[in-house]
Amino acid sequence: MLSVSASGNLTVRSVGPEFPSEGTPVRDARGIVRGRVARVFGPVTRPYLAVRLRRVPSPAEGLVLVGSMLVRD
């Protein structure tokens, strides 16, 4: 995961050209659903995903999320 926006959305980079469609649930490494893919944008070979979280993270939670791996269902 790359960043947390001011609105609480996550910006995530896809690992390759295959990516989840909008609306797909996204989980953290512990299996907890963090949100859903809201938008796919950027280069086709490795797009970015905007993930709308279920709730806005606290600053401490945001720091933990940055750099962590997220997985789709």
Residue 1's pLDDT is what? Answer: 59
The two three-digit tokens of residue 6, written as one number: 């001011």
Which residues contact residue 10 at a Cβ distance below 8 angstroms, ignoring those fewer than 6 apart?
1, 2, 3, 4, 34, 35, 50, 51, 53, 65, 70
Alpha carbon of residue 64 to chain centroid:
13
CB-based burial of residue 4 (10 Å sphere; 0-12 exposed, 13-18 middle, 19+ buried)? buried
Domain of 31 in residue numbering reads as 3-72
* Domain CATH for 56: 2.40.10.230
What total number of domains does the chain contain?
1
pTM given for the model: 0.75
Tens digits of pLDDT across the chain (73 residues) = 577 777 778 888 888 888 888 999 988 888 888 889 999 999 989 999 999 988 877 778 777 777 777 676 5
DSSP letter for each residue of 3-45: EE-TTS-EEEE-SSS--PPTT-EEE-TTS-EEEEEEEEES-TT
